[in-house]
């Protein structure tokens, strides 16, 4: 038991050292140095967490297929072309998504999958409706069964008629 504990502690020492002081550039493998070459000059000054994040990214890159790499490069280019305001808005949306509970995240992913399966023309219509929605949005009540708004983008009044009035 003690031997196992000693082996575990010794195997974790390099990770602990990285967490404390970072990793020197010359401790990286040749492939890691090649992938991270743009960071060579500043590597020693990067916080250890940033170094770990970059190393994890390099590892992910190594596992990607050529098609996945091409797609990642295209997405990175699209990101660079966005304004700082657009990037901030995307980051804020991502944080709001991460704050959702797992069931809400799953429901949102399901709705996005539903949207992706729609014909392109329908998706274009919905995007246009979204861009032109009133400041308060479309909803006046709970979402309809199936989660998608009706084709015209206007939600029916909640059960019982308009707010504060009962049907006669």
- Structure confidence by residue, pLDDT tens digits, 106-147: 999 999 999 999 999 999 999 999 888 887 766 655 555 555
% of residues, the chain, pLDDT over 70: 68
pLDDT tens per residue, range 50-84? 999 999 999 999 999 999 999 999 999 999 999 99
State how far the Cα of 162 lies from the Cα of 96, in Å rounded to an integer.
Answer: 31
DSSP secondary structure string, 72-100? Answer: HHHHHHHHHHS-HHHHHHHHHHHHHHHHS
- Residue predicted with more confidence, 40 or 134: 40
The residue among 16, 76, 77 whose CA lies nearest residue 52 is 16
The residue among 53, 56, 51 whose CA lies nearest residue 40 is 51
- Residue predicted with more confidence, 38 or 167: 38
pLDDT score at 138: 63
State how far the Cα of 66 lies from the Cα of 77, in Å rounded to an integer.
Answer: 17
State how far the Cα of 45 lies from the Cα of 40, in Å rounded to an integer.
Answer: 10
Average pLDDT of the chain to the nearest whole number: 80
Q: How far is CA 46 from the centre of its chain?
A: 24
């Amino acid at each position: 038991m003690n031997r196992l504990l000693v082996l575990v502690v010794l195997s974790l020492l390099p990770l602990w050292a990285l967490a404390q002081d970072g990793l020197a550039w010359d401790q990286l493998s040749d492939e890691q140095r090649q992938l991270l070459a743009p960071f060579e000059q500043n590597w020693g000054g990067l916080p250890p967490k940033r170094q770990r994040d970059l190393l994890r990214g390099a590892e992910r890159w190594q596992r990607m297929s050529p098609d996945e790499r091409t797609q990642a490069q295209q997405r990175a280019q699209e990101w660079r072309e966005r304004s700082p305001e657009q990037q901030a808005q995307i980051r804020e949306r991502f944080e709001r998504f991460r704050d959702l509970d797992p069931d809400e995240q799953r429901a949102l992913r399901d709705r996005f999958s539903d949207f992706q399966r729609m014909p392109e023309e329908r998706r274009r219509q919905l995007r246009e409706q979204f861009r032109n929605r009133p400041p308060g949005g479309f909803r006046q009540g709970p979402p309809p069964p199936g989660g998608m708004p009706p084709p015209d983008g206007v939600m029916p009044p909640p059960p019982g008629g308009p707010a504060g009035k009962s049907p006669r």
